[in-house]
Amino acid sequence: MQIALLGGTGDIGEGLALRIARDTDHEVRIGSRKAEKAESAAEEYRAELDERGVDATVTGHENPAAAAPADIAIAAVPAYYLSDTVEAVADELDDSVLVSPAVGMQRDEDGLHYNPPGLGSVTALAVKAAPDDVPVVGAFHNLAAAKLADLDADLDWDVPVVADDDEAKATVVDLTGELDTLRALDAGPLANASEVESLTPLLINLAANNDGMHDLGVKFW
Amino acid sequence: MQIALLGGTGDIGEGLALRIARDTDHEVRIGSRKAEKAESAAEEYRAELDERGVDATVTGHENPAAAAPADIAIAAVPAYYLSDTVEAVADELDDSVLVSPAVGMQRDEDGLHYNPPGLGSVTALAVKAAPDDVPVVGAFHNLAAAKLADLDADLDWDVPVVADDDEAKATVVDLTGELDTLRALDAGPLANASEVESLTPLLINLAANNDGMHDLGVKFW
């Protein structure tokens, strides 16, 4: 498959790009608003993978060009940019599954709080911004970016996945299952996205309040 | 210490009572709206502990009598009954730490959803119902009742704890740490309770959607 990482130059885009390239045979297409930025990130990722003896196809493009041939397009951008990013690639998403990992959060003196949009979840924002016939899957909401991007780190984390389209959900569950030390779990339909998203500020609050804990993920059992 | 389990005849009250009695030297006071019900539950718990060779002090009382001498009073009742339960024992809570494990949830065709009261969290409801000078700690929100009450089950679960009063928080963290296979984590002040509570419907949705998973808890790393 071809996997586009829209906004794949930072945050969890980097970690997903590196791990998909290392752990699978899929082609990774880094997207950015500026082609040069995406090309530069792709070059950096190729160099890191090359150092590890991994021969992978990682290329950089403007977001719409990254999305055009993609089987899966992951909108790896902050919640604030999600709608704009999806709308900018909307014409290129036919035959793609759109994946939304963004979480809306707000910080105050107590910690980080879940701050969903009026639609109920950020994943629901992606559904609204995408064309009606593009299946949307919520996944990768709870991954700590720095640890994800550290290819020496064993994650042993679970990834709750929500979607209304069973085939699209299975595609993302299978991709996640190909990634070393990540396990996909079915969290039900898109309407269950807010409970998945709100886990992220909890992870950050726990890391902030407990000595020796940082870059937390979660395992369910 | 003396630990009261208000509403300790069902749900997570049973599991907490059994595990506190088995794993610590604290006295367990089961509370209920009716003394006979609490006495009957206490007798049942003593019999189960006795079978396992555990000699523990577990007694049954009306909720106010259970709370009166307690160092820690755990309101192990559904969210719907929380305010009434706390108000009924309010005069007995001086020198007690009040612990709130309840979560507000609502089921629809998609699954279970977090449904906090207008105050923002169920833990905040407990604060409102308690006298001003009684410190409230949110804890034990995410424990699956059936597995908790199965003394043969190794839980290996984490327990996020929220409170504004550091001493009260430490008391509950220490109690949790005495329980085999549970680990307490500091999730910050009371204002962070909603992110802790909303983990519970996620756990239930994951159990409902994944074969072989049930009675889920969580481990953070």
B110, B192, B218 member nearest A205 (Cβ): B192
The reply to whether ipTM tops 0.90 is yes
Residue of B nearest to A210 (CA): B186
With CB atoms and an 8 Å threshold, state whether A202 touches B195: yes
SS3 call for A215? coil
Residues of B with CB under 8 A from a CB of A: 108, 110-111, 113-114, 156, 160, 185-189, 191-192, 194-196, 198-199, 201-203, 205-206, 208-210, 213, 216-221
The whole-chain average pLDDT of chain A stands at: 97
Chain A residues near residue B201 by CB distance under 8 angstroms: 192, 195
SS3 call for A37? helix
Chain A residues near residue B191 by CB distance under 8 angstroms: 108, 110-111, 113
Kindly list the structural domains of chain B, giving each domain's residue range(s) and its CATH number in brackets, ordered by start: 2-209 (3.40.50.720)
With CB atoms and an 8 Å threshold, state whether A188 touches B208: yes
For residue A115, give how far its alpha carbon lies from the nearest alpha carbon of chain B (Å): 10
Q: By C-alpha distance, which of B133, B61, B124, B128 is closest to B93?
A: B133
Residue of A nearest to B186 (CA): A209
Residues of A with CB under 8 A from a CB of B: 108, 110-111, 113-114, 156, 160, 185-189, 191-192, 194-196, 198-199, 201-203, 205-206, 208-210, 213, 216-221
pLDDT at B192: 97
Residue-level pLDDT, tens digit, chain B, 221 residues: 999 999 999 889 999 999 999 999 999 999 999 999 999 999 999 999 999 999 999 999 999 999 999 999 999 999 999 999 999 999 999 999 999 999 999 999 999 999 999 999 999 999 999 999 999 999 999 999 999 999 999 999 999 999 999 999 999 999 999 999 999 999 999 999 999 999 999 999 999 999 999 999 999 99
For residue B39, give how far its alpha carbon lies from the nearest alpha carbon of chain A (Å): 34
Mean pLDDT of A59-67: 98
Integer Cα distance of A6 and A24 in angstroms:
19
- What percent of chain A has pLDDT above 70? 100
With CB atoms and an 8 Å threshold, state whether A113 touches B210: no
Task: Work out the angle between the directed axes of helices B79-89 and B122-129 (0-180°, nearest 10).
Answer: 20
Mean pLDDT of A17-46: 98
pLDDT at B10: 86
pLDDT in tens, A123-181: 999 999 999 999 999 999 999 999 999 999 999 999 999 999 999 999 999 999 999 99
pLDDT band for A10, please (50, 70, 90 cuts): confident
The residues near A150 (Cβ < 8 Å, ≥ 6 apart) are: A15
Chain A residues near residue B206 by CB distance under 8 angstroms: 160, 185-187, 220
pLDDT in tens, A178-207: 999 999 999 999 999 999 999 999 999 999
Beta strands A2-6 and B97-100, pairing class:
unpaired
Integer Cα distance of A51 and A162 in angstroms:
35
Integer Cα distance of B196 and B141 in angstroms:
7
